[in-house]
Structure formats: structure tokens, C-alpha cells
Structure 1
Amino acid sequence: MSSGLPTASKALGKFNLGLLSEPRVRSDRDKFVIFLDVKHFSPEDLTVKVQDDFVEIHGKHNERQDDHGYISREFHRRYRLPSNVDQSALSCSLSADGMLTFCGPKIQTGLDATHGERAIPVSREEKPTSAPSS
């Protein structure tokens, strides 16, 4: 029987990551997109890189003061990219409201996507972006 309240481990996990909502991953016919709420991090606090078939997103900020005292945050996320994502055309942006959007177009089946390791710069957008509801 569920009380409708999050379990302690689920609530604690979100608190520890500094994330307010669960990440959303969309993969349709034309593109692959990850939406990640990172409102407590600036672009300088974030590192996004692709290595082989994975995108790795790392956020870390040193101790800073908030309403309740001092806090430091760090998270790591790793996602497998679909094999038909064009890794040479990946982009990543951070909206004014703290939504990180990682996006890659898909290529036609049969063409070989570029693999290897490379950093993806995080650009800042001035307008808020909200992840679409599922």
C-alpha cells in the first residue's frame, strides 16, 4: 500500500543530487534529447562529454551559502546514445531556469556515426525552458 509520498531514499537521492525533477530522455525518429534540471549549477560547474556510445554529464559546485546554511553539490549522469545519433552534431544548452538540454540528430540507418571522445560545450540561453511532460 502506497501513501503517495516519496520514499526516503528517493527523496534523499534527489536532495543529494541537487536535482528537482527526474531527467527526461526522448528518442524519436529524428533526434535524441536529454532534459536535466540543474538549476543549482552554472555552465562553469558542468562538464558534458561523449565517449564512444555514452554521454557523461557531471556537475559540481564548491560549498556556497543558501537559505539553510552551506551546501556543496555534485552529480554524475551517464546515458547510452543510440547508435544512429550523429555525434559530430551534438549540442548542449542551459536555459535561464536551469534546464540542461542535450540534443543530437539521428542519421539515416546504414550510415556510420562518428565515435570517440569529445567535449560538448554548454551554452547559456536567456529564456527559460521546461522539459515537456511525459
Structure 2
Amino acid sequence: MDEHGLVSREFTHRYVLPEDTLPRSVSSTLSPDGVLTITAPKKPSPSAPNERIVPIAVQGGPTPLPVQHEP
């Protein structure tokens, strides 16, 4: 600490980003207790050509069990 109460520290550590990340979207945060968190979002995965989204309708009650008839 100097006469103005300033503390400065520096370190360098390099990592290779995985191929499936977006380099321009990398972000970092430094917490008050000195924990550095680096976030690198993944690229969106390409959809399969036959893929489609099927909506799911939620019903109000439980599904009834099938009735078994005795021979």
C-alpha cells in the first residue's frame, strides 16, 4: 500500500477457448473478495434439418390407468 492507500496487483494467465465458444461474448467479473469469474457462452448448436418443436399441453388431473377386464 502506498501513501494514498492504493494497492495494485497484476497476474497473467492464458487459456485457450474451446472451439464452440463465442470469443466476442466473453465476459468477466471480479467480486469484492477477489474472485475472478470468466464466462464464455457457447455457440448455438445447429438444428437438425428434420427437427421441430412440439408444444406440450399440461392437463389438470392425473392420467387414468387403463381398466383391465378379466376373461
TM-score (norm 1): 0.26
More helix by share: 1
TM-score normalised according to structure 2 size: 0.46
Q: Which has the higher strand share?
A: 1
Structure showing greater Rg? 2
